[in-house]
């Protein structure tokens, strides 16, 4: 799993996006034969539905909330004390709106109650939703306060009052997010590997097989190369494995219709990821230092320097987006 960076009191996520497992549409009960495969298929569909509900919420709000926390804490010199009132560049937290909550509230509540029971993941999902709900009102109040520039009228009096509960809510969310992310990745990775085996057995190496296989290899690269102390030889092996499955996929399915244009977009992002993985390996292997500007950009999702964990994550998330469009 990609490691999270910590800024003072706040664990700020690098927003590792998760890939939804692509299951087939369920068979109508009225037309299903009583075969040994039916219960297995139903169980797989139930698991996929549960994981997709969790993943949908996580992908919808997690990066946004952590980015909001980074923006808010970025201009405050002393996070313990809060705003001094002398700051010239001020940013409030982003608002968590009704649409965001619709991706999480009912879907997570229903998924927790749904089969199969996954005690550790279900508990983590419940804590995640609870932390998100607790954050909403204080984040909303702070957002409006800073958006309307009310701090100019009260000399930051309310901003100072809101700081402690807002930081406590951000910190609680960060902890819940970390646990949820770990459990969700663990369950999702296992489910996808089982799904990959089933796909190959049932249909052979189709476009869907290659998409999933490539994403699993990409995820393994992210897990390994998220910190600067990874083993270069192991990283090179993982990159070569990604190259092999990508090249095989291009040779076998790139020209297939329908969906050729969408697949080409996915392949372009895969090439970007391949190149950035190589850059990351070269930078860490050669111990190339970051210059002053690059160091300032390390935590920027879009401006992170080449060869950094943040840059690799940025192109990985673009690959995830294209994968989920297939």
Q: Which two tokens stand for residue 212?
A: 């999933």
Gap between the Cα atoms of 314 and 320, Å rounded: 10
β-bridge mates for residue 225, sequence order: none
Task: Please return the burial class of 136, using the count of CB atoms within 10 Å of its CB with bins 0-12, 13-18 and 19+.
Answer: middle
**Per 3-state DSSP, what percentage of the chain is helix, strand, and coil (rounded to 5)?**
70, 0, 30
pLDDT of res. 291: 93
pLDDT of res. 17: 40
- Scan for tokens 């879907």, then name that residue: 107
Q: Which two tokens stand for residue 147?
A: 């958006």
pLDDT in tens, 126-137: 999 999 999 999
pLDDT of res. 43: 84
pLDDT of res. 124: 98
Listed by start position, the domains of the chain span 41-204, 205-326
> For the chain (length 326 residues), average pLDDT per consecutive 10?
30 33 32 50 86 92 93 94 92 94 97 97 98 98 97 95 97 97 91 90 95 94 93 97 97 94 96 97 95 89 90 92 87
pLDDT of res. 3: 32
Taking each helix axis from N to C end, the angle separating 157-203 and 207-225, rounded to the nearest 10 degrees, works out to 130
């Amino acid at each position: 799993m990609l490691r999270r960076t910590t800024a003072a009191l706040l664990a700020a996520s690098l927003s590792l996006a998760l890939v939804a497992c692509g299951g087939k549409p369920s068979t109508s009960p009225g037309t299903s034969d009583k075969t040994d495969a039916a219960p297995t298929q139903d169980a797989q569909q139930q698991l996929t539905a549960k994981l997709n509900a969790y993943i949908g919420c996580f992908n919808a709000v997690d990066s946004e909330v952590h980015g909001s926390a980074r923006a808010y804490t970025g201009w405050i010199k002393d996070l313990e004390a809060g705003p001094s009132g002398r700051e010239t560049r001020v940013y409030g937290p982003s608002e968590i709106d009704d649409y965001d909550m619709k991706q999480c509230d009912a879907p997570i509540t229903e998924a927790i109650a749904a089969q199969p029971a996954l005690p550790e993941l279900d508990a983590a999902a419940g804590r995640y939703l609870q932390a998100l709900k607790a954050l909403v009102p204080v984040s909303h109040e702070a957002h409006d306060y800073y958006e309307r520039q009310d701090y100019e009228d009260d000399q930051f009096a309310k901003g100072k009052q809101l700081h402690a509960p807002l930081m406590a809510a951000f910190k609680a969310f960060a902890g819940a997010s970390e646990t949820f992310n770990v459990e969700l990745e663990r369950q999702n990775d296992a489910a996808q590997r089982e799904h990959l085996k089933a796909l190959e057995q049932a249909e052979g190496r189709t476009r869907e097989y290659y998409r999933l296989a490539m994403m699993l290899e990409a995820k393994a690269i992210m897990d390994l190369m998220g910190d600067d102390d990874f083993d270069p030889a192991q990283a090179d092996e993982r990159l070569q494995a990604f190259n092999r499955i990508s090249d095989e996929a291009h040779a076998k399915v790139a020209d297939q219709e329908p969906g050729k244009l969408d697949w080409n977009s996915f392949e372009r992002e895969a090439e970007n990821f391949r190149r950035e993985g190589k850059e990351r390996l070269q930078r860490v292997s050669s111990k190339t230092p970051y210059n002053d500007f690059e160091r300032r950009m390390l935590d920027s999702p879009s401006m992170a320097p080449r060869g950094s964990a943040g840059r690799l994550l940025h192109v990985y998330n673009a690959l995830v987006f294209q994968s989920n469009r297939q």
